[in-house]
Amino acid sequence: MSISHLFFHREVADHPEVRNFGRRLGLTPTAVADAAEVYRKVLEADDPVAAGKQTLFLTRNRGGFVRDCPGTRNYMCCGYRILHIGTYCTMDCAYCILQSYFHPPLLQFFVNLDEMDAQLDDFFRQPGIKRIGTGEFTDSLIWQPWTDIGGRLVERFAGQQSAVLELKTKTTAVETLGERRHNRKTIVSWSLNTPRVIATEERGTASLKARLQTARRCERWGYPLAFHFDPMVIYPGCEGEYAAVVDELFRTVSAQNVVWISLGTFRFMPALKRIIAERFPRSAIIYGEFVTGLDGKMRYFKRLRIALYRRMVERIRRLAPDVTVYFCMEDEEVWQRTFGFTPLRPDGIAAMLDRSARLHCGLKL
């Protein structure tokens, strides 16, 4: 969706990013004294979720830029860190948790990047290997047409040796990344799905072919790559279609340059079901065989998840036997029945991913 309304908090009125966004969007920024003014305008719309995707609020991040991933209780976490540059997304995926996570959902970009840089300096000084990404509360690269935050971060990470940045996206907005010195300390990654799911559930995203061709372009620039099959949707014939995506993936990029692949199936908080039914009346994703998980989220029956996971792991192992594959938020039984082992708690998954990051990105303790 295109942005049609641009607001900024009065306390950042003199910040150059306000002028930059206004110029590049072709909009006159409107000052507000309080974020509540913007929230009210969004909530008054017939579809507040869509209105939030067309309304951008420029403000300060008053909390931490560097955060721990919240994880999910009772499920195994990978020790990821979040670089909190902004919120929400201009794309419109039916399954997106952000539709109900923010109240109201609203595009926000944090302009106090000098404070982000200071927090990154502290982050780099922390001991050990560190993995961090900007794709938890927003898509990492939707901001590129208006502000080169991705390129700025690539160069910040290129100058240190112990941390890797992951830029996760469903877009093709990588043009400025080719101009940057990255020193292989940035992983560019894509969320992947079947063409059927992309066409029916991921409005406004790049096609599968476009994502993979863009990944190949980044590989030519020397970037390490990663891919996330999450959320996978279970439907008749899905196993063969997901296997075909794996085939296409490794026809397009080199397995030796893939740092990791994550797997996860569609899960959602019960509150999201009503939003999906109202906003995507033709979507069938909420009518699968679900059960309440240990975290309160609705999840496919375990036997269905494991059957799809096994098919995916078998296909990946056949084409890329050395690529690190892991689950995003699954329990020990699913790990054991799919892979034949369970990562040792508390840091087993983190150790797997740290090892792969050291190998592909040249990280040093």
- Residue type at 284 in one-letter notation: A
Q: Using 50, 70 and 90 to split pLDDT, how confident is the model at 102?
A: confident
Contacts of 356 (CB under 8 A, 6+ apart): 259, 260, 324
Beta bridge partners of 166: 133, 187
Q: Mean of the per-residue pLDDT values for the chain?
A: 95
pTM for this prediction: 0.96
Tokens of 69: 């991933």
CB 66 within 8 A of CB 119: yes
CB 253 within 8 A of CB 216: yes
Q: 3.40.50.1970, 3.50.50.60, 3.80.30.30, 3.30.43.10: which CATH number matches 62-104+112-361?
A: 3.80.30.30
Sheet holding 298-300, edge to edge: 267-268, 298-300, 290-292
DSSP secondary structure letters along 5-46: EEEEEGGGTT-HHHHHHHHHHT---EEESSHHHHHHHHHTSS
Query: How much is the pLDDT for 73?
Result: 62
CB atoms closer than 10 angstroms to residue 37:
14
What are the strands, taking DSSP E only, across the chain? 5-9, 30-32, 55-59, 66-68, 81-83, 86-87, 92-93, 107-110, 130-133, 163-169, 186-191, 202-203, 225-232, 258-265, 267-268, 290-292, 298-300, 324-327
Query: How much is the pLDDT for 101?
Result: 82
Please write the tens of the pLDDT for every residue from 210-245. 999 999 999 999 999 999 999 999 999 999 999 999
pLDDT over 90 at 133, yes or no: yes
Distance (Å, whole) CA 281 – CA 219: 39
pLDDT over 70 at 74, yes or no: no
Q: Using 50, 70 and 90 to split pLDDT, how confident is the model at 95?
A: very high
CA distances from 24 to 12, 20, 28, 148 (A): 18, 6, 10, 12
Residue 362 region, left (φ>0) first, then alpha (ψ -120 to 50), else beta? Answer: left
Burial 67-93 (b: 16+ CB within 10 A, else e): eebeebeebbbbbbbbbbbbbbbbbbb
Q: Using 50, 70 and 90 to split pLDDT, how confident is the model at 344?
A: confident
DSSP secondary structure letters along 187-229: EEEEE---HHHHHHHEETPPPHHHHHHHHHHHHHTT--EEEEE
DSSP SS3 for 273: helix
DSSP secondary structure letters along 82-103: EE--EEB-SSEETT-THHHHSS
Distance (Å, whole) CA 71 – CA 243: 28
pLDDT over 90 at 345, yes or no: no
Domain boundaries along the sequence of the chain: 1-59, 62-104+112-361
Q: Using 50, 70 and 90 to split pLDDT, how confident is the model at 1?
A: confident
Lowest mean pLDDT among 28-32, 247-251, 346-350: 346-350
pLDDT over 70 at 298, yes or no: yes
Q: Which of 161, 145, 149 is nearest to 117 (CA)?
A: 149
Query: How much is the pLDDT for 138?
Result: 96
Q: Using 50, 70 and 90 to split pLDDT, how confident is the model at 283?
A: very high
CB atoms closer than 10 angstroms to residue 250:
17
Distance (Å, whole) CA 165 – CA 170: 17
Distance (Å, whole) CA 200 – CA 216: 25
Sheet holding 258-265, edge to edge: 66-68, 81-83, 130-133, 163-169, 186-191, 225-232, 258-265, 324-327
CB 170 within 8 A of CB 205: yes
